[in-house]
Structure 1
Amino acid sequence: MITPAFELSQDPDFLIIIIKIPYARASEFDIYFEGEDFKFYAKPYFLRLTLPGRVVEDGREKASYNTDEGTFTIHLPKEMPGQYFEGLDMLTSLLAPKKLKSTPLVEEIADSAHFSEEEEDDFDWEIEQTPYEETAESALQQKYCYGFGNLHSEVLQRLQEELTEVIDIKDPDRVPVSERRRKRLAAEVAKFDPDHYLADFFEDEAIKHVLKYKPWWIDVHKKKTALNEESCQEHDRQTFVVFSEEEREQLRKFKNKSYLLDKRTRHHVYLGLIDILLAYCYEICVNEGDKNVESAWNVRKLSATLCWLESFTSIHEVLVSFGRRVVCYPLYRHFRLVTRAINDTVMILQLGKGAVLKCLLDIHKIFRENDPSYILNDLFITDYCIWIQKIKSKKLAALAEALQKATLTKSHTGLELEELEAAAMLVQEEENKLKAAGSVSKQQLPSSESETSDSEDSSSTSSSETEASDSEEQESSTSEDGKINSLQDTLQEERTAPLIDCNGLRQDTNTSVFEVSDEKAKVSLQSTSVPGKLIKELEKQMHTAIRLSEQPEGLATASCAVSQQQENSASEPDGPSKDAVGKGNFLEVSSKKNPFLFLCSTNGDED
């Protein structure tokens, strides 16, 4: 028989069941309902439901068939009109047959002190005995459980090759929970990268962007909160979470089963649910609701329940584990993402088991489409999807309240996040102070920049000229007769050459005047620009240049031949006349490297 697709809805008086049976004979069908039982048969389809409330047969029931869509729509009267049936979206739990009462497997008996002698006589003294045999040490190794409610064992041993890409614990069948936790904490410490964390802490533009994303449960939670403030009864009747057809089909594919969980195991299951939802909320936030190839990795890596088969004992342990893994493994490692995931998980739990189931179905799809991760569906997610449909909503409400009251700080992670941030802030402040000091000094510099730069240029020029003059002295000592370069080159070099400051030649920073000191007189040499006509005249009168003879003191101790015609040169402001040039008003100093030609004045003025 084929289980058809179906969905349930309600109004105050009727429970409405819609059954899709394409290619079936509408004339051949059977319907049976009584109390909470409902059966439908139309070859080859068969559907049996356990309804969340009681219905009656009172003549108001009706059914209709749509041949175009191939759907049966059945209206069943409620036994108590106006009653609200919960869990109509929990299709897997509705498929379960009616629960049969059975005798308990374990019966509590009286204390042994009250045993009578007759009861002791009932002991079988002829019981068969077997001799004691020592068992090999390898056979005494304990097998440890894992998965949903710790219901699985020796499953992963044969899947070790595929498990390397799914879980981080090796050989989980022989590793106890305490050892798993110790290894997990050590792996997280080894993986933590302070540079990556601080980079996301300071350069958080991408973090701020993803935090602006609003998943579907935020708007639904606001709507529910608004209705809850207006009327509690209206809130109870409102359907906030709507499942897609793909999700409904997946719910129908699940095989319904019951879970016998003790109180301690149920506690582990609830905490594991929080851990998985936290990882899922982080994935939805950072990818803004879009799935990619890293989605399965994000969910399983951030959940220690999935990645390390961890069994938590408190909500605080869950939050600490999640916070540590967020700042150690994914691309975005910011603590605000941890806080955001916690708030989102609280909203989902407050919306009830419909919202939780919708998230679990999405996780199931993510793992189903990722090749190695399907194992996690078999171990955890499928069982969670079936189990969540049967629990009471008030349990999730209490869980949401406990999670909302729990606190998580950066110090709880044990990774010294606050110390790292404080040290980085100090370094940043020092850098800002240095930058500020540099900008202030640059603003003060323009007031004296011209004078300082001039003095620095003159000092550097003098030092370079000193070295040049020393080298010239050495070269002139080896060869007194140097070649006389052209007068044009000499005059051009006179304009551009640095000033000399050695042995009587010094530079005045305020004027461009050279002073040549002698034992008897001082002659000021003024660097002037020579007109073009004068250059031509100088070329013709090269024979009038006076060659300086080298002295032991160097070039600077040489005396200048001064023209006797001071009055003529003083009376001509535009420069010396041709006669003055011809009479030796110019002094030529030549060496092998640099010839210098100075225009000498004998006016006797001093600076």
Structure 2
Amino acid sequence: MITPRFSCSQTEDAVTVSMYCPSIRAADVEINVDDNLLTVHVNPYYLRLNFPNNLLEDDSSSAKYDAGSGHLRITLTKEQTGQHFEDLDLLAKLLAPRPTKTTPTIEVLSSVENTDGLSQKLNELSLNPSEFEEAAANDWQLPQEFPEGLPKFQTSLEKPYGFLCLHSGYLRHVGHTENEVNDLGPDAEKCSKDERSKRRIQREDDKWDPEHYMADFADDEYIQDLLKWNHPYIAAQDPYEYTESENLEILRLPRKEYLADARQTRELYLTLATLLFAFAYESRTNQLDPTPESAWTICTLTPAFSALDPPESLCIGDEFSKVEVMATLLPSYRRALAFPLYRSFELAERCRADAAQLLAKGRRFVMRCLLDMKRIVDHHEVYYVYSKIWLDDFCVWVQAHASDELLSKLAKSVLDTSISKESIGWHLEDLEAVTREVRGREADSDDE
């Protein structure tokens, strides 16, 4: 079945769904309304929408097909007149399946126990009085230790990765492709979480070049121009409406239901901050004009892509602590100072501020950034794999499940968190001091 292009609008009394389904027979259209669920089927098209509130299929409802334009227009009455249906422009949220609400049940098959046999076995294990006296005389003191927990049983050598660890097998042949952003090498499928973090840190230390950093610090004229650039997405006015091409991209996204617990959901928000940091760096350095290197830049600066190493949550709740956000963004800072063309701590700070402002604008603007990233990565012959294991799912999740309130809280925490140069671990302040001293000596020599 084909999911058609569609759009939704509303009045005080009704909701209207406009579908583009050319070359159909109007008599074959099947429309069904079940509370807030609308299903429309006409070969070869099928559309299922979950609205936030209930609808009615009454005498005021209608369905009209315009054969000239190919649009089917369905108007359904609201169950409560005047009720506002939110997020009708978030197509992925409307297309998401109904959340399953299942309660686990426990069935007691039998409560009868062989108490006589159990008592007999306990008596056999008990010590008689003479044995107690012997134990006291010899003062037996055996060492007592808690047994160590058994490792989690693994049925496969491959370790899952990606969005909610739902994916595996995408990097089996990574050794035969030009995947320059991969920090794990041919062992990408087998590395554990700790090994991924260890290899990522080692890769960053190996790529760190103090001379490159000092050169950019000494000659920062172009970097200063990049810092003055104003991001159009941040300056845009609310509300934002998706373009037709963006709606088409949303319709091509997978239809999935995500069962994430509180900790996993929190980690998704933190990972989103690292994605927007990489997007902010790429868009600021290229001023929203992608180059052939843009896919490499985005994937390299995102630890969840390059090392399959997303951030971990340090606590549970709706508030994001500064310690947690600092641990989340520290790998992004290190990668921004070790890999790309422009390596400036001031530039990394500006990217953090950009990411915070994009988060504060809500899920519609965040979704726009994700679609831009997906468009860049999808067109690369190798790095498209990171779109499959991360960006596709993130796009669906942001529209269907992300909360503007939590995005706002995360934005405030990202903006207020300070990443110190000392925490990077590469003696940045000493290198900057040496650069200033050398530059001062050269200036004196020129004056003489």
* TM-score of the two chains, using structure 1 as the length reference: 0.60
Partner of 2:151: none
| Correspondence 1:130-279 to 2 at 5 A | 143-162=158-177, 164-170=179-185, 171-220=187-236, 223-224=237-238, 240-279=239-278
Change (3 A) 1:163 1:317: farther
What is the SS of the residue equivalent to 1:23?
Answer: coil
Question: Deviation per CA, 1:2-27, whole angstroms, max 9, x where unpaired?
Answer: 32111122344432211111122345
**Aligned-partner residue type, residue 269 of structure 2:** Y
Deviation at 1:167, TM superposition (A): 1.4
Aligned 8 A contact 2:183 2:203 in 1: no
Aligned 8 A contact 1:93 1:256 in 2: no
Aligned 8 A contact 1:89 1:354 in 2: no
Partner of 1:47: 47
Aligned 8 A contact 2:353 2:414 in 1: no
User: Which of these residues, 402, 414, 424, is aligned with residue 413 of structure 1?
Assistant: 424
| Correspondence 1:191-590 to 2 at 5 A | 191-220=207-236, 223-224=237-238, 240-313=239-312, 314-391=324-401, 392-436=403-447, 438=448
What is the SS of the residue equivalent to 1:255?
Answer: coil
Distance 2:84 2:252 in 1: 27
Task: Structure 1 unaligned segments of length 5 or more: list them.
Answer: 110-114, 122-138, 225-239, 439-607
What is the SS of the residue equivalent to 1:2?
Answer: coil
Question: Deviation per CA, 1:176-205, whole angstroms, max 9, x where unpaired?
Answer: 222222222222222122222222223222
Question: Deviation per CA, 1:220-240, whole angstroms, max 9, x where unpaired?
Answer: 3xx34xxxxxxxxxxxxxxx2
**Aligned-partner residue type, residue 208 of structure 1:** Q
Distance 1:368 1:298 in 2: 14
**Aligned-partner residue type, residue 50 of structure 2:** T
Aligned 8 A contact 1:38 1:50 in 2: yes
**Aligned-partner residue type, residue 311 of structure 1:** P
Deviation at 1:388, TM superposition (A): 1.7
Deviation at 1:412, TM superposition (A): 2.0
Change (3 A) 1:366 1:42: same
Aligned 8 A contact 2:53 2:85 in 1: yes
Deviation at 1:40, TM superposition (A): 2.1
Aligned 8 A contact 1:188 1:328 in 2: yes
Distance 1:116 1:60 in 2: 57
Change (3 A) 1:88 1:31: same
Distance 2:68 2:209 in 1: 61
Partner of 1:21: 21
**Relative to structure 2, which stretch is displaced further, 246-255 or 273-282?**
246-255
* TM-score of the two chains, using structure 2 as the length reference: 0.80
**Aligned-partner residue type, residue 84 of structure 2:** Y
Partner of 2:85: 85
The Cα RMSD (Å) is: 2.7
Deviation at 1:155, TM superposition (A): 4.3
Aligned 8 A contact 2:16 2:73 in 1: yes
Deviation at 1:326, TM superposition (A): 0.9
Change (3 A) 1:274 1:107: farther
What is the SS of the residue equivalent to 1:9?
Answer: strand
Change (3 A) 1:176 1:163: farther
Deviation at 1:75, TM superposition (A): 3.0
Aligned 8 A contact 2:97 2:256 in 1: no
**Aligned-partner residue type, residue 180 of structure 2:** E
Aligned 8 A contact 1:301 1:329 in 2: yes
**Aligned-partner residue type, residue 19 of structure 2:** I
**Higher RCO (C-alpha 8 Å, min separation 6):** 2
Structure number with bigger Rg = 1
**Relative to structure 2, which stretch is displaced further, 378-387 or 53-62?**
53-62
Aligned 8 A contact 1:141 1:174 in 2: no
Aligned 8 A contact 1:276 1:306 in 2: no
**Aligned-partner residue type, residue 162 of structure 1:** T
Distance 1:119 1:211 in 2: 75
Task: Structure 2 unaligned segments of length 5 or more: list them.
Answer: 116-153, 313-323
What is the SS of the residue equivalent to 2:23?
Answer: coil
Aligned 8 A contact 2:422 2:428 in 1: yes
Partner of 1:118: 112
Aligned 8 A contact 1:350 1:396 in 2: yes
Size of the aligned set, in residue pairs, is: 397
Deviation at 1:159, TM superposition (A): 4.0
Change (3 A) 1:328 1:97: closer
Aligned 8 A contact 2:56 2:77 in 1: yes
Deviation at 1:400, TM superposition (A): 1.8
